[in-house]
């Protein structure tokens, strides 16, 4: 498929995990990608894309810093002359499960990247998309933003904010031709969740990872990336203001002890 041939695409958080998988898939489908991340390994993402024959440029930047976001948008405009897709995926976690143990600074840092970051991408990037007649914006939220129990208080609150941001941005941009949608990933093996997976493997309990969802497994970055590409593509031309859980069925049920399969 080549759904993004001739398209200019920005992906934040592209140094690893979901962002890297998304940048790679966008490029494979013909997009000219600006891959952004605070981590220098975003250059490895671009190198891999180039090796596969794709088009990508790396930018080391802070997704929660307005000056850096402006540099990102300016780079996309300078390189491609337009912006068709923004995937605001960058995010960080941190802190304990106890709200009384999380510090004010932790809250500020997490909200700055996870919630203010996507807002800045929309605020600074959308005007260019409006002038071009439209485009698609996708934001990474989380199942942690839907219900308690999937992240620290600050992380969960930030992702709940992203869910709200998607709906309000879609309506603020009504009539512009820009669609805004989001994704709520479940447990995915990425750099952010590496400790969870490593700890389970050390204990020999890795077969229990993802046991609470109906798929009985964790997800892969590519599985989220494919949904991001769908939402950004013309295949989702009438999908707007929505946030899709991509979690193996986790959010479809209240916490229960899963029954043993019959047969």
Q: Report, as residue numbers or ranges, the catalytic residues.
A: 155
Number of helices (H), then strands (E), belonging to the chain: the values are 8, 7
Dihedral sign computed on CA atoms, order 196, 202, 204, 207:
positive
Q: Are 128 and 122 in contact (CB under 8 A)?
A: no
Work out whether strand 32-37 and strand 135-140 pair parallel, antiparallel, or are unpaired: unpaired
User: How many Å apart are CA 93 and CA 110, to the nearest integer?
Assistant: 7
Burial label for 64, CB within 10 Å (0-12, 13-18, 19+), is: buried
Residue whose pair of structure tokens reads 């929309």 in the numeric block = 122
From 11, 3, 99, 85, select the one nearest 49 (Cα to Cα): 11
Chain-centre distance for alpha carbon 64: 14
Distance CA 213, CA 183 (A): 17
* First-to-final CA distance of the chain: 39
Residue indicated by tokens 């981590």 = 39
CA distance 42 to 62: 12
- DSSP secondary-structure letter at 187? S
């Amino acid at each position: 498929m080549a759904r993004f041939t001739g398209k200019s695409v920005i992906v934040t958080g592209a140094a690893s995990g979901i962002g890297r998988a998304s940048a790679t898939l966008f490029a494979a489908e013909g997009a000219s990608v600006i891959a952004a991340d605070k981590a220098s390994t975003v250059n490895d993402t671009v190198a891999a894309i180039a090796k596969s024959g794709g088009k990508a440029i790396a930018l080391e930047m802070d997704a929660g810093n307005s000056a850096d976001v402006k540099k990102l948008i300016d780079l996309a405009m300078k390189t491609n002359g337009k912006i068709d897709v923004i995937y605001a995926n960058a995010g960080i976690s941190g802190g304990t499960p106890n709200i009384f143990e999380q510090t004010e600074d932790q809250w500020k840092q997490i909200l700055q990247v996870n919630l203010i970051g996507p807002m800045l991408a929309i605020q600074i990037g959308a005007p260019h998309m409006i002038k071009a007649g439209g485009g698609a914006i996708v934001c990474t939220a989380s199942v942690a933003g839907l219900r308690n129990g999937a992240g620290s208080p600050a992380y969960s609150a930030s992702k709940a904010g992203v869910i709200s941001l998607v709906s309000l941005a879609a309506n603020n941009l009504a009539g512009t031709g820009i669609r805004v949608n989001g994704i709520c990933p479940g447990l995915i093996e990425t750099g952010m969740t590496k400790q969870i997976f490593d700890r389970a493997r050390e204990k020999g309990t890795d077969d229990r990872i993802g046991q609470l969802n109906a798929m009985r497994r964790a997800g892969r970055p590519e599985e989220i990336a494919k949904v991001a590409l769908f939402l950004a593509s013309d295949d989702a031309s009438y999908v707007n203001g929505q946030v899709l859980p991509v979690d193996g069925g986790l959010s479809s049920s209240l916490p229960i002890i899963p029954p043993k399969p019959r047969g």
